[in-house]
Amino acid sequence: MPDRYLRTCGSLSLRPCLPGEATRVEGSLTGDIRHMVVNSRYLGDRDIVVYLPPGYSANDNWRYPFALLQDGQNIFDTQTAVFGVEWRVDETTERLIVDQKICPVILVAIYNSPDRINEYTPFADPDHGGGGAELYNAFLVDELIPFLDHHFSISRRPEDRAVIGSSLGGLLALFLGWYSDFAFGKIAALSPSLWWGRRCFLTGMGGGPTPKNKPKIWLDGGTDEVDSDVNDNGIPDLIDDLRTLRAVLFAHGYVLGEDLMYREVEGGTHDEESWSERVEDILTYFFPYQAHLS
């Protein structure tokens, strides 16, 4: 597997603020973006960066849908991105809202930590360890979402909540959305690391029950992400794993184009530039303009 699967966090270059305070952020950013620090009894202090849509006001009497994005330092700003390339989610979202292609949405980019591998994996891998995603889930559900609800006008309906991630973050997004009942109604897993733990996640989903609150899912991967082809069938292992997961989701009653969007991205690579090119379609799938706010 590529080294990027196991990367850790980059350096933080945001201006410091105390837990619960907000700081306006400048840099390669578009729109109203706030840096905050959340104090967690599970994970310690964690940086988040919040994008607020055009026209947002603390006095709004309705609640906005929102998305939680992993590897948050890579989402908005080239200055904090690990490899100097961001997802450009702020620019894309601002344009789509102004053009009335999506409804106004709040985006929350959660910085990873040096313990990224442990936090992003739901069980241990015999070669790489990990397995601490339950604590990360507790941080999101018990601490971060209530924190956001206190500071911003966010929706309390699962169908208005998305969790998004790539690579190990994609595996994490699947875990969070599939097993956290009524916490998240939308999952975007870009190039998920389904190989982790000898593909136990695929086995678990295949043999387990369908969630009571079945989430809407975006699932994708690039054809040029990995060279490995363990079964010598001429198909990269990542694509094989994606197709297996697609079959598992079909068995759980998912329908392509309705509650499942699946893509094999021709020439897609395992990096921020490639993932950034999928952002527009993910947002329009999850948050279409005609969607009603709660």
293 domain-assigned? no
175 domain-assigned? yes
Query: Can you tell me the distance from the alpha carbon of 15 to that of 86, in angstroms, rounded to the nearest whole number?
Result: 19
Over residues 67-123, the pLDDT tens digits come to 999 999 999 999 999 889 999 999 999 999 999 999 999 999 999 999 999 999 999
| Nearest of 118, 121, 110 to residue 51 by alpha carbon | 110
pLDDT < 70: residue spans in the chain = 1-27, 291-294
291 domain-assigned? no
Query: Can you tell me the distance from the alpha carbon of 179 to that of 172, in angstroms, rounded to the nearest whole number?
Result: 11
What's the structural domain count of the chain?
Answer: 1
pLDDT for 58: 84
294 domain-assigned? no
Which residues, other chains included, contact 45 with Cβ-Cβ below 8 Å and sequence gap of 6+?
19, 37, 38, 39
pLDDT for 15: 39
292 domain-assigned? no
Supply the CATH number for residue 278's domain.
Answer: 3.40.50.1820
116 domain-assigned? yes
Cα within 13 Å of Cα(84), Cβ side: 0
Determine the structural domain holding residue 143 and report its residue range: 3-286
